[in-house]
Amino acid sequence: MDPQALRLKSMSTLASLGLAVPAHLPPLDPSELRDEGETLKRLACLHACSASAFGFSRVKSLAWIEAQSLTSFLEEEEASFLRGQESGNRFAYQVEGIFALCWALGIEESIDWFDAVDNAFVHRLPNLKLGEPLQSLCASARMRDTVEIMQAADLGYCLHWALRDASLAGERKDFPIEPYVIIERRRALEWLTGPDRWYDITLDT
């Protein structure tokens, strides 16, 4: 996998959108992907927290996590939220990260960086109200190729840089998507392609 080749393709995509990044912006380092099982567990934990951030019972979300034998896979911040000890604001935005993980797992066909998750997306995830198991999602999961995911991660990095550059230049209003869409999808892809804990990922540009 050639990081410079990934970057050149990202720059070509950006150019087609009328955007650009500086040549000195460092490419991402090649990495091994986290495996399908770990990715599905992370997705499930995020799904439970996101559902409760939008009003679903935290008690029931935690019970669903326990029923899937995933309690030990909750991050400290997530366990604290589901036990009523932390605000859920951050988890509402992470539906975009869940979407990126679904794309990486082959559950979603494509990832359009300028199109936020629609209201139908949640219906393609396990129904927590009915206690639908995570296995209902596992059957359709097939992890995408490492190069394809690294390419998406590099493009997300470049788009995040372009977003910050537009904000600094006072041109944020011209950017066609809310920042959290790019930020949370990028977080998911950085997690997939790196060793850091989800909430320790630094999204520098």
pLDDT tens-digit series, residues 28-41 = 887 789 999 999 99
pLDDT of residue 51: 96
Give the residue from 3, 10, 5 showing the smallest Cα distance to 29.
3
pLDDT band at 161 (very low <50, low <70, confident <90, very high): very high
Helix, strand, or coil (residue 50): helix
- The whole-angstrom separation of Cα 90 and Cα 80 is 13
pLDDT of residue 174: 66
187 phi and psi, to 5 degrees? -55, -45
pLDDT band at 172 (very low <50, low <70, confident <90, very high): low
pLDDT of residue 136: 85
- The whole-angstrom separation of Cα 158 and Cα 111 is 15
For residue 156, the one-letter residue type is: G
If you average pLDDT over residues 178-182, what whole number do you get?
92
pLDDT of residue 90: 87
* Res. 178: pLDDT tops 80: yes
- The whole-angstrom separation of Cα 35 and Cα 42 is 11
If you average pLDDT over residues 94-101, what whole number do you get?
97
Distance from chain centroid for Cα 96: 5
The structure tokens listed for 124 are 């393609």
* Res. 5: pLDDT tops 80: yes
If you average pLDDT over residues 118-128, what whole number do you get?
93
Cα angle 157, 202, 109 (rounded to 5 degrees) comes to: 45
* Res. 138: pLDDT tops 90: no
Which residue matches tokens 């920042």?
179
Helix, strand, or coil (residue 23): coil
pLDDT of residue 54: 93
